[in-house]
Structure 1
Amino acid sequence: MDEMQTTEIRRTVPQPAFQYGGFWMRFWAYLLDLAVIAAVGGIIVKPLFRALDLQLSASGIFTHVNIASALVFYLYFVLMTKFFGQTLGKMVFGLKVIPLNDERLSWSTVIFREWIGRYISATIWILYVIAAFTPKKQALHDMFADTAVIHERTQTAEPAYS
């Protein structure tokens, strides 16, 4: 009696393959973000301070204009990253921030990531260069927050089945 052999065909579900955003793409996106923030500061903060007759040229770190500018700077990165997963600079360069352990970016992850990231950019900016040498192109603040920056429009080839 012939024994029928059954062949089991297993299809593996392809895991999402990301192309991580490298140092230079992130650098140019950050420079564009700085230009956007400078424009917002020039359009909103400074005219508001002039209208309220507050001093723009006071000396010291903790002046009203410096605090307002820092607030705009930080809120820009936090709100854009939380609601869109990317800032305007990242949008232009096709980059997006993703969490490595959750489905969506949480408020705590975004706030922590941006706080660490902005602190590093203001104090020890050379630590951003780490992104050029890690497998997932993560900067130090990405490692701390368990996030990565990916190319948003990456297409992966899938095998054709006949």
Structure 2
Amino acid sequence: MEVWIGRDGERHGPYKEADIRQWLRSGQVSIDDLGWYEGLADWQPLSVLFPDEKPASAPPMAPPLPQRAATTAPEATADYAGFWQRFGAWVIDLIVLIVPSTIAFYAFGGLDAYKHFLEQVQGGADMATAMREYILGAQSSSVATVIIGFIYYALFEGSKWQATPGKLALRLRVTDIHGQRLTLGRAAARNAVRLTNIITGLIPFVCYLAVTWTQRKQGLHDLVAGTLVLNGRASEQAAAPPSRGRDDGAFNA
């Protein structure tokens, strides 16, 4: 487990749990410093996160403040995108995807399956049978459409823009839990969860409704993949690497 340390409104790390335990025992960090790790709802004092770790002796004064600049705690500055913003971005992306999806529908036999379905209905065939045959006939085009959507979202959200065209239009970006750009693997995982909506036919409700009540306005796919949707395009953000702790056994934030 990796833990961020919060001090005076700034975050430092992340650090390995074993290192933090050692620093608590040696007094290099204070039990009053705050800690946070992925999955924790809010910052907690280190004395709460590691109640079994106590300094061997009380330090003569509080541990010194970090000597170099650190990044601001994400919860203090993050501007989370709301439900209707994200829904609007989804609608725009749906419109953009109409073109490649229509091409796939034609190319993989979807139109022929639909024409055959209409002919059966007009000829008085059993509706259940006609619908079953249509679903089977349009299966290839449906799979192609799903794949196109998956690639679209994963590549755009894992790109330098960190957003699909719909999110760019509404000045949104997708980040990991620390506000950094997604790896392609995390972007793919995020959108793999969204595919469950396609299977159930409940887009966008299953994934997006959670945005209305979660603390950081995360959808189901955000919670599973550890991602956030924030206001502001990636190009508008200051280009600064995340603050990282050293692995040499010292607290140097």
TM range (shorter): 0.7 to 0.9
Q: State the identity %.
A: 27
Residue in structure 2 matched with residue 21 of structure 1 by the alignment:
81
| 2:135 alignment partner, SS class | coil
1:48-59 to structure 2, matched below 5 A, reads: 49=107, 54=109, 56-58=111-113, 59=134
> How many angstroms apart in 1 are the aligned matches of 2:198 and 2:86?
13
Q: Which has the higher contact order (CA 8 A, sep 6+)?
A: 1
Q: How does 1:44-123 map to 2 (within 5 A)?
A: 44-46=103-105, 49=107, 54=109, 56-58=111-113, 59-60=134-135, 63-83=139-159, 84-101=161-178, 103-120=180-197, 123=200
Compute the displacement of 1:94 (Å): 0.6
Letter of the structure 1 residue corresponding to residue 148 of structure 2: V
- How far apart are residue 57 of structure 1 and its match? 3.1
Paired residue secondary structure (2:112)? coil
- Counterparts of 1:133 and 1:121, CA distance in 2: 23
Q: How far apart in 2 are the matches of 1:121 and 1:133?
A: 23
Higher strand share: 2
Per-residue CA deviation, residues 113-136 of structure 1 (Å, 9 max, x unaligned), is: 101023236535244211011121
5+ residue gaps, structure 2: 1-64, 114-133, 238-253
Indicate the residue corresponding to 1:158 in structure 2: none
* Rg larger in structure: 2
User: Which residue of the partner structure matches residue 25 of structure 2?
Assistant: none
Amino acid at match of 2:224: F
Shift of 1:152: 1.3
Backbone CA RMSD of aligned residues: 2.9
Supply the distance in 1 between the matched residues of 2:199 and 2:84 (Cα, whole angstroms): 18
Q: 1:66: how far off?
A: 1.6
Query: For the structure 1 residues 102 and 12, does the alpha-carbon distance in structure 2 shift closer, same or farther, using more than 3 Å as the test?
Result: closer
Output the CA distance in 2 between the equivalents of 1:92 and 1:149.
14
Contact 1:56 1:65 (8 Å CA) reproduced: no
Q: Which residue of 2 aligns with 1:41?
A: 101
Give 1:129's aligned residue: 209
Structure 1 counterpart of 2:240: none
Measure, in 2, the Cα distance between the counterparts of 1:115 and 1:20.
22
Counterpart residue type for residue 106 of structure 1: T
Q: Verify the 8 A CA contact 2:167 2:173 in the aligned structure 1.
A: yes
Q: Partner amino acid for 1:36?
A: V
1:152 aligned partner, one-letter code: G
TM-score for both structures, normalised by structure 1:
0.73
For residues 112 and 22 of structure 1, the distance between their equivalents in structure 2, rounded to whole angstroms, comes to: 22
Instruction: Give the aligned residue type for 1:144.
Output: V
Over 3 Å counting, the alpha-carbon distance change for 1:19 and 1:101 in structure 2 is closer
Q: Number of paired residues?
A: 142
Aligned pairs (5 A) from 1:130-149: 130-149=210-229
Q: How many angstroms apart in 1 are the aligned matches of 2:146 and 2:206? A: 21
User: Which digits, 9 at most, give the CA deviation of each residue in 1:4-46, with x for residues without a partner?
Assistant: xxxx9x997561622000111000100111111112223x425
